[in-house]
Amino acid sequence: MDLRFTAEQERFRADARAWLADRLDGPFAKVRGRGGPGDEHELFDERWAWEQELGRDNWIGLGWPAEYGGRGASLLEQVIFFEEYARAGGPGRVGIIGEGLLGPTIVHFGRDDQKRAFLPGILRGTEIWCQGYSEPNAGSDLANVQTRAERDGDEWVVQGQKVWTSLAHWAQWIFVLCRTDRDAPKHKGLSYLLLPMDQPGIEIRPIVQITGHSEFNETFFDGARTAAENVVGEVNGGWRVAMGTLAFERGASTLGQQLSFENELREITDVARANGTGTDPVVRQRLAEAWSTLRVMRFHALRTLPLMETGTVSPATAIHKLFWANFHRALGELAVDILGAAGVSGIQGDDDRMQRLFLYSRADTIYGGSNEIQKNVIGEQALGLPREPR
């Protein structure tokens, strides 16, 4: 596989770099490098304005077909943009769930009227989405969702509870996996509904995380309503759509994510240099190992990216998730080891970012499918081991 970029791709890179530098050195300097792990609660209004700035110049939905308002950019162009975004210190995106999860799902599984209704708000950065999958008894065992929806005339009425709903307190819309046929087998009676958040039937309660902030929430539905046509895919056929969304979660942006890891590693290395731990042979080995792991991760991702774009969960996507999640959690541990005593004191002062990295990265091996679940996928699909009893 040829991993070099063409002259045209390099021109695209130069355009993206120039645009990002212009905005992030200028009117949006305040959000540069903000909103990352453990900092995702900060500067919401400013980062929402940033989302709309990206939308104005067509930097959202790069890979979506031009007929739906995207740029129809190739996979490598998307990779280039996400790399440049991370290199420039672009802030944590408030529109990430819309662009990364719901948008591709609508492009792939949605009807034309749904594309017209829901894609523009994501592309302009004006509508924020959240994901209503997990429930108290349905996380890894997602098909166990108990939130139910029933038809009432030309509307669906939703009853139940979701949990860990990231960004629900900011979102205007939620996509909800719910049970629409209680008599059907577990995976068959589910539908994928789109609901407006601003209505009396929805209550949001923030959950305070170990970082002391609330990125996610409990979301309660008590007679929440949405129009009958707001089902993506078939009624009772939501499982296939829900799995498609999960596969999109690990698309082209993963390359940009690796550059953010690289930025973090650079910061950690600077601390090691400054506080003297950089002369410790074990610390040096761990830093070098982190650097080489990042290179391997990059080449693995470039090789397997095309598979991630197809909307199916495969061993390649599972390996990738397992690989980066373990790496990032270990990077957080390395950061606090290098900080020494400062790493275990209360969160304050200059060491904040690293402590937050350590605390937040504990979540990496859980969300988007836990490590154990990824290993099950690899065991069953790549190694052909007997399926887990269900």
Ligand X SMILES: Cc1cc2nc3c(=O)[nH]c(=O)nc-3n(C[C@H](O)[C@H](O)[C@H](O)COP(=O)(O)OP(=O)(O)OC[C@H]3O[C@@H](n4cnc5c(N)ncnc54)[C@H](O)[C@@H]3O)c2cc1C
Does 88 engage in binding with ligand X (CB under 6 A)?
A: no
Compute the 3-state secondary structure of the chain and give helix, strand, coil in percent, each to the nearest 5.
Answer: 50, 15, 35
3-state secondary structure of 231: strand
Site string for ligand X, 43-62 (x = CB under 6 A): --------------------
For residue 37, CA distances in Å to 34, 151, 222, 291, 349 come to: 9, 40, 32, 20, 16
Which of helix, strand or coil describes residue 42?
A: coil
Q: Exposed (0-12), middle (13-18) or buried (19+): which is 153, by Cβ within 10 Å? A: exposed
Residue 144 touching ligand X (CB under 6 A) = no
* Binder of ligand X out of 81, 129, 156, 164 (CB under 6 A): 164
Q: Of 131 and 191, which has the nearer Cβ to ligand X?
A: 131
Nearer to ligand X among residue 121 and residue 132 (C-beta)? 132
Length, in residues, of the chain: 390
Question: Token pair 């995380």 is at which residue?
Answer: 209
By the rule CB under 6 A, 173 interacts with ligand X:
no
Cα separation, 160 vs 138, whole angstroms: 12
| The only residue of 11, 18, 140, 266 in contact with ligand X, by rule CB under 6 A | 140
94 is a contact residue toward ligand X (CB under 6 A): no
Q: Does 366 bind ligand X (CB under 6 A)?
A: yes
- Mark residues 99-138: x for contact with ligand X by CB under 6 A, - for none: -------------------------------xxxxx----
At position 210, the amino acid (one-letter code) is I
Site string for ligand X, 195-234 (x = CB under 6 A): ---------------------x------------------
Q: Count the site residues for ligand X by CB under 6 A.
A: 19
Active site residue 249: yes
The Cα 295–Cα 301 span in angstroms is 10
CB of 379 to ligand X, least distance (A): 10
By CB under 6 A, name the one of 271, 339, 363, 377 that touches ligand X. Answer: 363
**Is residue 367 within the footprint of ligand X (CB under 6 A)?**
yes
Residue 11 burial (CB count, 10 A) = 11
Give the C-alpha separation, 169 to 167, whole Å. 5
Catalytic residue among 77, 99, 135, 249: 249
Does 376 participate in binding ligand X (rule CB under 6 A)? yes
Three-state DSSP class for residue 21: helix
**Interaction residues for ligand X, span 253-292 (CB under 6 A):** none
CB 156 within 8 A of CB 226: yes
Give 133 or 324: the residue with its C-beta nearer to ligand X.
133
DSSP symbol at 363: G
Q: Which residues are tagged catalytic?
A: 249
Task: List interacting residues with ligand X (CB under 6 A).
Answer: 130-134, 139-140, 164-166, 216, 363, 366-367, 370, 372-373, 376, 388
